[in-house]
Amino acid sequence: MQRVTEWYLAALRRLHARGGFARSAPQAAVDLVVWLLAVPLAVWLRFDFAVPASSAAGVVLVVLAVLVLQVVFGFSFSLYRGRYSYGSFDEVIGLTRSVAATAIAVGVPLLFLGPTLSVPRSTMMIATPLAFVSMAASRYLKRLAFERGQRPADDAAPTLVYGAGRVGSQLVRSMRTDPGARFRAVGIIDDAPTLHGAVRHGVRVLGSLNDLEFAVALTGATRLVVAIARAEAWLLRLVNDRATACGMQVLVMPPFSEVLEGRSGITDLRSISIEDLVGRNPVETDVASIAGYLRGRRVLVTGAGGSIGAELCRQVERWAPSELIMLDRDESALQHVQLIVHGHGLLSTPDVVLADIRDAEVIRSLFLERRPDVVFHAAALKHLPMLEQYPAEAWKTNVLGSLNVLRAAEAAGVETFVNISTDKAANPTSVLGHSKRVAERLTASFAESTGRRYLSVRFGNVLGSRGSMVPTFAALIEAGGPLTVTHPDITRYFMSIPEACQLVVQAGAIGDPSEVLILDMGEPVRILDIAKRMIAMSGKEIQIVFTGLRPHEKLHEELMSVGEAAQARVHPKISHATVPPLPPAALDRQWWDDHWRREHTSDASRRRSDTGEATAPIGPLFVAKAPAR
């Protein structure tokens, strides 16, 4: 019997691989056999098991008509074209249509011709439900047999799925029908009491998150997959803590945007990351409805090789610009972004431009030659302590470089200019903050002089960007520590790279000239909490050393400056503020030196008096240890 089953499954796979009618031919034959039996059975039942001999010819004629019409309607409704999955709802709809059409096409004439043919008028009324149920049952049995042969291997990791909704149900089905799956669903966890005991594709809901220890003991599961779309960070932290206490590894699904774009599959699970635990539920920025201003336009991105610039280029390319120009001074970074956007790193095509925004003549010539319609200005120096040591570099890149790009954009008639700023530009206390604040004001000045949509976007720290906190902490942990934190109470706002870029793209559509768009960043996150969690996830004993706040570093960042009146006009989570313009004629090196010295001194004094914190290192305070596994 086992050999027969294996032969049948192998035949099904061969037919499935062929597709089209070859795949559906066996099922079509089964349907015809069902009708061949259903019509005589209906007549037999109608005559109380005693069919008169005079009805034989009429029954044969009706059977032939039914068989022909079933094939005709089956093809008409794509039932026999191999377009439906086995036992799917779509196939049931196609089956319903073809059977109903066949029953009507034969049953209506039979109402008038039945006595002539000696066939009961009610024949099709009796035969149709018998045939439909039998055909549907055959498809369901075929689906069960096919899925039974597609189950994951026994060595796949036993896994619990957290979430019995649509996402979790689809994940369970995918796990149970993928022979190459690394994970095998053995139970479901859901906090809704009404779902306890429910079954999803043969897998039972075993209880809530509070019952996790019981579910692990019952099933022997070693993995827990969070199958909740857009799960918030607080929930992921709770799940991770409970699962870690049970000795389980927590996995999350890829974003549905990646699944829809074909970059990931629903079973492409990954380990939970620190970005998942410290982030927040991303703000819905409806880019799809307003990004049409990029379609068919020439778009230029400065700083295209950076983390923000590269993701921005990838997102812009989705909206089919007539030309995407990626500019950076780092040739290796340009090759990386070209690989991301176009799938090659030839560096011989005009879409990549090697240039420095400090070079005013080169930037102006480029803009006049390529004539971009939209510019996203992401090029900048961003590391606060480095710019504290070398403030002249901030002046050359963040101030003069931005001015060069703005002047070139004005000369080339750029319609939309989006300057990417930072929360450190709000009530700035550092060289970085002051330089980005000046860039915002310069952008506002050009908005006034051109009357075009020149604006800035301001957001907090970006998780996972090159040189940012999380990769730095990861490198320190990998090296064995110590892990350095400036202050035990320091907090920062965080957002993901894709979300930051969505905000930038949307800003070009909803922002007005001279505005600064500010995203609602949620609650700030304590850096020490991130450090502890990353150490716990590493399983290592790593020392945390507090070094003290660096010169002109804020203990808590701000999103808006004093006196900025911001309001959400278009999107409830995106505020619009205005900054005073700074005409280029009023800007020179002496102005910058005087402005920086005056503001820097007062801001540093204000910060020290407000926080009472010294900038000297505090030293090692404790050793964080990972929990026992």
Question: Average pLDDT in the 595-623 region?
Answer: 45
pLDDT over 70 at 621, yes or no: no
For 46, 107, 111, 566, the CA distances from 56, given in Å and listed in that order, are 14, 17, 18, 86
For 96, 139, 202, the CA distances from 78, given in Å and listed in that order, are 12, 15, 30
Which range has highest mean pLDDT (268-272, 448-452, 459-463, 586-590)? 448-452
Give the pLDDT score at 400.
Answer: 95
Give the pLDDT score at 310.
Answer: 93
Question: Average pLDDT in the 216-236 region?
Answer: 86
Give the pLDDT score at 535.
Answer: 87
Beta bridge partners of 492: 525
Give the pLDDT score at 618.
Answer: 35
Q: How confident is the model at residue 604 (pLDDT cuts 50, 70, 90)?
A: very low
Give the pLDDT score at 457.
Answer: 93
CA-to-CA distance for 231 and 252, rounded, in angstroms? 10
pLDDT over 60 at 20, yes or no: no
Contacts of 400 (CB under 8 A, 6+ apart): 358, 360
Contacts of 96 (CB under 8 A, 6+ apart): 132
Give the pLDDT score at 626.
Answer: 39
pLDDT over 70 at 464, yes or no: no
> Which percentage of the chain shows pLDDT scores above 90?
36
CA-to-CA distance for 68 and 101, rounded, in angstroms? 12
Question: Average pLDDT in the 11-39 region?
Answer: 72
Q: How confident is the model at residue 610 (pLDDT cuts 50, 70, 90)?
A: very low
Give the pLDDT score at 623.
Answer: 40
pLDDT over 70 at 15, yes or no: no
Give the pLDDT score at 521.
Answer: 73
Give the pLDDT score at 288.
Answer: 66
Query: Per-residue pLDDT tens for 525-537?
Result: 888 888 888 888 8
Give the pLDDT score at 149.
Answer: 55
Query: Per-residue pLDDT tens for 95-139?
Result: 899 999 999 999 899 888 888 888 898 899 999 999 999 998 888
Q: H/E element holding 600? A: helix 589-611
Question: Average pLDDT in the 272-295 region?
Answer: 71
Tell me the pairing of strands 223-226 and 249-252: parallel
Question: Average pLDDT in the 283-307 region?
Answer: 83
All structural domains of the chain, each given as residue ranges with its CATH number in brackets, are: 2-148 (no CATH), 157-272 (3.40.50.720), 287-460+494-521+558-611 (3.40.50.720)
Give the pLDDT score at 570.
Answer: 79
Query: Per-residue pLDDT tens for 485-495?
Result: 989 998 887 77
> Which one is predicted more confidently, 301 or 48?
301
- HSE value, Cβ hemisphere, 13 Å, CA-based, for 550: 13
Q: Which of 534, 536, 524, 533 is nearest to 490 (CA)?
A: 524
Beta bridge partners of 205: 188
Q: Which of 482, 357, 430 is nearest to 599 (CA)?
A: 430
